[in-house]
Structure 1
Amino acid sequence: MKTRVITAIIALIIFVPLLIIGGIPLTIFTSLLGAIAIGELLYMKKRLLVSFEAIFSFLAVIVTILPNNFWLMLPANNLFQRQSLLYFFIAVILIVTVLTNNRLSFDDAGSLVLGVFYIGFGFHYFLQARSDNWMSFVFGLIIVWSTDSFAYIFGRRFGKHKLIPKVSPNKTWEGSVGGTIIATIIATIFAVLFKINPQFNVFQIIFVALLLSIAGQFGDLIESALKRFYGVKDSGNILPGHGGILDRFDSMLFVMPLLVLFGVS
């Protein structure tokens, strides 16, 4: 527990100022997080981190993460556009399946490409949400953190009925529902007090907060299913006591894209 608390304090000291500053420092840091996260996927799949498929997976995920304004600074040439580069990197990963006589199988390549989209666009919209509207971004953070915290508290105190035991044996329906209700209340109060988006009335805010809280829990469960499939306890060990980047950002990767999709940010 001591290690977990120390890690959390150090992470907050680094993370919170970068969130406040935003811009290039946060973009660089977020790209690094994405690269580490795709590295964790390679680790879970027991693939080498120094290989053609790993290098091009790193490049593909960073290209996906970079914000739109970065691409607007480049010449108007398709060679430099996100889609073209992303397709090129994915094509190289597929070519590796041929050149290595299926040492990297098509299934392996497919899981890496899916990981690039899952991690890359999750962190891309994390940056976009921060850039679009600071208060809406904090609204998303509140939903993720309060859902996680109160689901744990309610689960420990009242949990009796397992949510999906084959995926995450410690999660309960009581924790899930309790976390969602409290997170929705806290996030709604925050949104009303700080008027995060005048276009949304209180009922729409409640609806969005509820959906985002549920989405965040699905993000958590999906990452749990991924770890269980590969037979690992944590996605990595870069954060002592907390696991890996995917362990800490699994909910964010689902909540932030939806925050932008719903037009809250």
Structure 2
Amino acid sequence: MINKSAIGSGGRWADLSRRIASTLVLLGIGVLLAVAQGLWLRLGMAVISAITFWELAAMTGWKYPARHVTLFGRSRPVALAAIAGVAQAVALTSFGSWAWLALLAPILAGLPGAAKRDRGTYAIFGIAILLVAYGLVGFRESFGLHFVLWLMGVIIISDTAGYFFGRILGGPKFWPALSPKKTWSGTIAGWIGACILGVLLWLTGWGDAALIWVSPLVCFAGQMGDIAESWLKRRAGVKDSSNLIPGHGGFMDRFDAVTGAVLATMLIGLLTRLPVVN
């Protein structure tokens, strides 16, 4: 049954601009991965890692109060951002060697300065941020551009279908304590949308049948990435990860689903064969 109150209700559609911003950021990543290669691709992902790491450090109270998440104020753990960026660049420019251990540098450097209660949180989220950039470059160069575009497509379809069907159909909340607006109807719509994408790619010869089950699984992981970041922001007492994107929050707000999806894809690749996307 359609929730008629959702139609024309400005409150329920108030964050539509944020969804559009998320889509644009994802498309920007796709463009970066499409046109940039070699050193430029690696440096671009290193910069993104540095920015998101800065936001993480601020939210986990790294030597400053968590509520002051501003770029030019006193509460800016730019030292960790710089370390993270350099570590990511070293790991990516030495792909295939033990240089990936450089990713541990910002984790070890930041643990002593993080708020005591958030040290585990800082380490887990920090590793996730660095692994995502590492994984995206690996996917681009080992599996090709179409594989990355499929991955981004799953996230975009999940987010779009989840948003509109969740607002229109309404119903029980998926995890109200962490994400008050996310509904079961929207969550399931994301799974179905991702599955349809997998079926279409398979039927048109753009990918193999594994996409049919891998796509909704990656979609679910992306949704969990969104939930995880919501939990982090609630724990830090902030609405957005930063104000770097005026009116739309920060980079972590736009990359949360990407983080979950990429990590899940990397795990699937360790356990079994990843789907082929032509």
Specify the TM-score bucket, using the shorter chain as the normaliser: 0.7 to 0.9
Alignment partners' CA distance in 2, 1:13 and 1:181: 21
Q: Alignment RMSD, CA only?
A: 3.3
> Which residue does 2:87 correspond to in 1?
63
> Which residue does 2:11 correspond to in 1?
none
Alignment partners' CA distance in 2, 1:13 and 1:88: 30
Alignment partners' CA distance in 2, 1:9 and 1:163: 22
Residue deviations 1:198-243, cap 9 Å, x none? xx4x2x2211011111111011111111111111111112122321
> Which residue does 2:197 correspond to in 1?
186
> Which residue does 2:32 correspond to in 1?
18
Query: Does 2:257 align with 1:248?
Result: no
Alignment partners' CA distance in 2, 1:212 and 1:141: 10
Cα distance, 1:252–1:88 mapped onto 2, change above 3 Å = closer
CA contact (8 A) 1:147 1:179 kept: yes
Which amino acid in 2 is paired with 1:43? A
TM-score, normalised via structure 1 length: 0.78
Q: CA deviation at 1:145?
A: 0.3
Which of 128, 131, 136 does residue 121 from structure 1 map onto? 131
Alignment partners' CA distance in 2, 1:170 and 1:115: 23
Alignment partners' CA distance in 2, 1:58 and 1:141: 27
CA contact (8 A) 1:61 1:119 kept: no
> Which residue does 2:155 correspond to in 1?
144
Query: Does 2:59 align with 1:44?
Result: yes
Aligned length: 246
Which of 85-94 and 169-178 deviates more?
85-94
5+ residue gaps, structure 2: 1-13, 65-70
Say which structure is richer in helix.
Answer: 1
TM-score, normalised via structure 2 length: 0.74
Q: CA deviation at 1:88?
A: 5.1
CA contact (8 A) 1:154 1:174 kept: yes
Query: Does 2:235 align with 1:229?
Result: yes
CA contact (8 A) 2:49 2:88 kept: no
